[in-house]
Amino acid sequence: MSVNLIGAFLMMASMACFVLNDTLLKMTGGAVPLFQLLCLRSMITCLLILATKGRLGALHFNIARRDWAIIIFRALIEVTISYFFLTALFNMPLANLTAILQVVPLAVTLASAVVLREAVGWRRMLAIAVGFCGVLLIVRPGPEGFNIWSIYALIAMVGVTLRDLVTRKLSAGVPSMTATLVTAATVMVASGIASLNGAWVAIETSAWVLIVASAFCILGGYFFSIQVMRAGDVSFIAPFRYTGLIWALILGWLVFDEWPSVLTLIGAAIVVATGVFSFYRERKILAA
C-alpha cells in the first residue's frame, strides 16, 4: 500500500477506537466516579503497553530533552481533554459530541495560520468560517439548545486541536508507543490524585468488562492518533477523520437509542463539507 493509503487506514482505525472507547465508557452510566474511572482505565492501558514489550512499536526512553518537553506537554493536554470530554460525554448524545469534534481539522488549519504563520488562502479561511457556523448549529446557542456540557465539548475540541499541533512537532525518531505510555501514565496519575477528593466505589463485573475493553480501545486510539500525524500527506489523510462521525451515529442509535436533531445533522454536514473542501484546497496548493 502507498504511504497515503496506510495513513488513511490509520486515521480510520484511530477514529473507530476513540468512538468505541467513548461508547463503552458511556455504557457505564455513571456507576463509577469520573476520576476513578479515568485512573483505572489509564492504569490498565499502561499495563497493556508494558505487556506488549515493544511488539506494537518501538518503546524506549532515549529521547532528546526537546522531545521530552513536547511529550509531557502533550500528555498534560490529554488530561484536560479527558476530563472535559468525558464529562460532556456522560451528559449529551454521543453523535452530538462527536460532531463538535469534527471541526478539529478546520481549527488546526486556523491555528497553523495564526500561530505557525502558515499560508492559508481566502478560500480555506472562508471554509473555516462556514465550518464554525456549522458548529453553532450543533450547539445552538440559546436557552433551549446550549448548556454547560456544550461548553465542555468546545473546550475538549480546543484541547484536541492543540494536541494535534503539538504532536506534529515531535521528532521522527520518537517512538509512538513511548509517547502513548507517557500520556496514559500522566492521565492515570492526575486522575488518581483528583479521585482522592471522593471515596472510591466497588465496581460490578459488567462495569469492569466495559472499563477493560475501553482500555484496549484507548490504547489503539492513542497509538494510531500519534502514528497518523507522522504518516503520508496530511491533506489526503485528514478527511478520513470524519469516519468517526459515522461510527458515532451508528453506535449512538444502536446502543443508546439516540439520534441527532435535523439542525445537528445539518451542522455536522456543513462541518464535514467545509473540512473536506479545506483539505482539497490544501492538497491542490501542494500539488501546484
The contacts of residue 1 (CB under 8 Å, 6+ apart) are: 9
- C-alpha 175/C-alpha 1 separation (Å) is 22
Instruction: List Cβ neighbours of 263 (8 Å cut-off, separation of 6 or more).
Output: 137, 138, 140, 145
pLDDT tens, position by position, 77-111: 999 999 999 999 999 888 888 888 888 878 877 77
Residue 192 is given by DSSP the state H
Any long-range contacts for 12-15 (C-beta under 8 Å, 24+ apart)? 12/240, 12/243, 13/220, 13/224, 14/220, 14/221, 14/224, 14/225, 14/228, 15/240, 15/241, 15/243, 15/244, 15/247
Give the model's pLDDT for residue 71.
94
The pLDDT value given to residue 1 = 61
Q: Which residues of the chain have pLDDT under 70?
A: 1, 54-57, 115-120, 122, 140-146, 229-235, 282-288
The cell numbers describing 69, all together, are: 518537553
Q: Cell 502513548 belongs to which residue?
A: 180
**pLDDT tens-digit readout, 231-253:** 666 667 777 878 888 899 999 99
Q: Closest Cα to residue 49, out of 198, 177, 196, 236?
A: 177
Domain extent for 110: 3-287
pLDDT at 213: 94
- pLDDT of 220 reads 84
- Alpha carbons 111 and 157: distance in angstroms, whole number: 13
Question: How many CB atoms within 10 Å of residue 219?
Answer: 24
pTM of the model: 0.82
Q: Which three cell numbers stand for residue 27?
A: 455504557
Given its phi and psi angles, is residue 67 left (phi above 0), alpha (psi -120 to 50 degrees) or beta? Answer: alpha
The pLDDT value given to residue 234: 66
Q: Cα–Cα distance between 134 and 150 in angstroms, integer?
A: 14
Look at the chain and report how many structural domains it folds into. 1
Burial of 64 (0-12, 13-18, 19+ CB in 10 A): exposed
